[in-house]
Structure 1
Amino acid sequence: MRLNVKKALIFVSCLVILWVLISYASVIEVPRSAPQRDPAVEIENKIIKLQKQVDAQMAESKSLLAKVNKLKKLSGGENVGEDNSLKDAEVMQHLSQPILPVLVIACDRVTVQRCLDNLVKFRPSKETFPIIVSQDCGHNATYEVITSYTASDPTISVVRQPDLSEIVLPRVKVKFRGYYKIARHYKFALNHVFETLGHEAVIIVEDDLDISPDFFEYFLGTYPLLLKDPSLWCISAWNDNGKLEVIDMSRPDLLHRTDFFPGLGWVLRKEMWQKLAPKWPTAFFDDWLRNPVNIDGKACIRPEISRTYSFGKVGVSKGLFFDLHLRNIQLNMEYVEFTKLNLTYLLKDHYDDTLASTVYNLPEMSASEVVASSDLSSDPVRVMYSNAKTYQRAAKKLGLMDDFRSGVPRTAYRGIVTCFIRGRRVYLAPSFEWNKYDPTWG
Structure 2
Amino acid sequence: MLKYFILFIFFEKYFSSAQIIPILVLSHNREDGLKRILSQVTRYRPNATQFPVFISQNNVDLTIELITNEFQSQFSNLFHWHPDRLKFTEGDQLNYDEHLIYGLDTLFKEMNYTDAIVLEDDIDISRDIFNYFGHFKAALDLDETIWCISAYNPNGLAKLVDKRQKDLVYRSDYFSEYGFMISRKVWIELNFTGSDWMSFVHETMIRKNGVCLRPEISRSRHNGPLYSGLKQRDKLHHIIPVIICKGKPNLGNTSNLSKYTKLNYDQELQFNLNKSISLAPKDFYQHGTSNNSFILINYSNWDEFSNIANFLKLRHDSINDILPGSYKGTQSFYFNGSRIITTFNKSIFIR
What is the TM-score when the length of structure 1 is the normalising length? 0.70
Residues of 2 paired with 1:366 and 1:145: CA distance?
54
Residues of 2 paired with 1:216 and 1:94: CA distance?
17
Pick the aligned partner of 1:138 from 45, 60, 67.
Answer: 60
The amino acid that maps onto 2:94 is Y
The amino acid that maps onto 1:185 is H
Q: CA deviation at 1:374?
A: 5.5
**1:395–1:217 CA distance, 2 compared to 1 (3 A):** same
Q: Structure 1, residues 38-58: CA drift from partner, whole Å, max 9, x if none?
A: xxxxxxxxxxxxxxxxxxxxx
Q: Structure 1, residues 36-95: CA drift from partner, whole Å, max 9, x if none?
A: xxxxxxxxxxxxxxxxxxxxxxxxxxxxxxxxxxxxxxxxxxxxxxxxxx99x9599549
Q: CA deviation at 1:293?
A: 5.0
The amino acid that maps onto 2:318 is F
The amino acid that maps onto 2:36 is R
Q: Is the counterpart of residue 419 in structure 1 residue 333 in structure 2?
A: yes
Residues of 1 paired with 2:315 and 2:135: CA distance?
28
Q: CA deviation at 1:339?
A: 5.2
Residues of 1 paired with 2:207 and 2:136: CA distance?
19
Q: CA deviation at 1:426?
A: 0.4
Instruction: Report the secondary structure of 1:291's partner residue.
Output: helix
Aligned residues of 1:178 and 1:316 also touching (Cα < 8 A): no
Q: Is the counterpart of residue 218 in structure 1 residue 132 in structure 2?
A: yes
The amino acid that maps onto 1:335 is K
Aligned residues of 1:103 and 1:134 also touching (Cα < 8 A): yes
TM superposition outliers: structure 1 runs of 4+ over 6 Å: none
**1:93–1:423 CA distance, 2 compared to 1 (3 A):** same
Q: CA deviation at 1:198?
A: 1.6
1:184 corresponding residue in structure 2: 98
Q: CA deviation at 1:384?
A: 0.5
Q: Is the counterpart of residue 158 in structure 1 residue 98 in structure 2?
A: no
Aligned residues of 2:272 and 2:294 also touching (Cα < 8 A): no
Residues of 1 paired with 2:142 and 2:231: CA distance?
39
Instruction: Report the secondary structure of 1:216's partner residue.
Output: helix
Q: Is the counterpart of residue 306 in structure 1 residue 213 in structure 2?
A: no
Instruction: Report the secondary structure of 1:158's partner residue.
Output: strand
1:106 corresponding residue in structure 2: 27
Q: CA deviation at 1:429?
A: 1.6
Q: Is the counterpart of residue 428 in structure 1 residue 349 in structure 2?
A: no
**Unmatched 5+ stretches in structure 2:** 1-7
**1:263–1:425 CA distance, 2 compared to 1 (3 A):** same
Q: CA deviation at 1:433?
A: 4.8
The amino acid that maps onto 2:63 is A
Residue identity (%): 22
**1:133–1:387 CA distance, 2 compared to 1 (3 A):** same
The amino acid that maps onto 1:106 is S
1:386 corresponding residue in structure 2: 300
Aligned residues of 1:259 and 1:292 also touching (Cα < 8 A): no
Q: Is the counterpart of residue 148 in structure 1 residue 62 in structure 2?
A: no
Q: CA deviation at 1:332?
A: 1.1
Residues of 1 paired with 2:124 and 2:164: CA distance?
21
Residues of 1 paired with 2:267 and 2:14: CA distance?
36
**1:323–1:316 CA distance, 2 compared to 1 (3 A):** closer
Aligned residues of 2:86 and 2:102 also touching (Cα < 8 A): no
Q: Is the counterpart of residue 329 in structure 1 residue 242 in structure 2?
A: yes
Q: CA deviation at 1:295?
A: 6.5
The amino acid that maps onto 1:183 is D
Q: Structure 1, residues 184-240: CA drift from partner, whole Å, max 9, x if none?
A: 111111111112222111000001221111111101110000011111100000000
Aligned residues of 2:15 and 2:50 also touching (Cα < 8 A): no
Q: CA deviation at 1:386?
A: 2.9
Aligned residues of 1:260 and 1:408 also touching (Cα < 8 A): yes
**1:122–1:418 CA distance, 2 compared to 1 (3 A):** same
Aligned residues of 1:221 and 1:338 also touching (Cα < 8 A): yes
Q: Output the aligned Cα RMSD.
A: 2.6
1:400 corresponding residue in structure 2: 314
Q: Is the counterpart of residue 273 in structure 1 residue 194 in structure 2?
A: no
Q: Structure 1, residues 238-260: CA drift from partner, whole Å, max 9, x if none?
A: 00001112111121121111000
157-166 or 369-378, larger mean C-alpha shift: 369-378
Residues of 2 paired with 1:339 and 1:119: CA distance?
23
Residues of 2 paired with 1:321 and 1:91: CA distance?
45
Instruction: Report the secondary structure of 1:300's partner residue.
Output: strand
Residues of 1 paired with 2:63 and 2:269: CA distance?
50
Q: Structure 1, residues 382-404: CA drift from partner, whole Å, max 9, x if none?
A: 00023444333333333211121
Alignment: residue pair count: 338
- More relative contact order, 1 or 2 (CA 8 Å, 6+ apart): 2
Aligned residues of 2:289 and 2:295 also touching (Cα < 8 A): no
Larger radius of gyration: 1
What is the TM-score when the length of structure 2 is the normalising length? 0.88
Q: Is the counterpart of residue 286 in structure 1 residue 204 in structure 2?
A: no
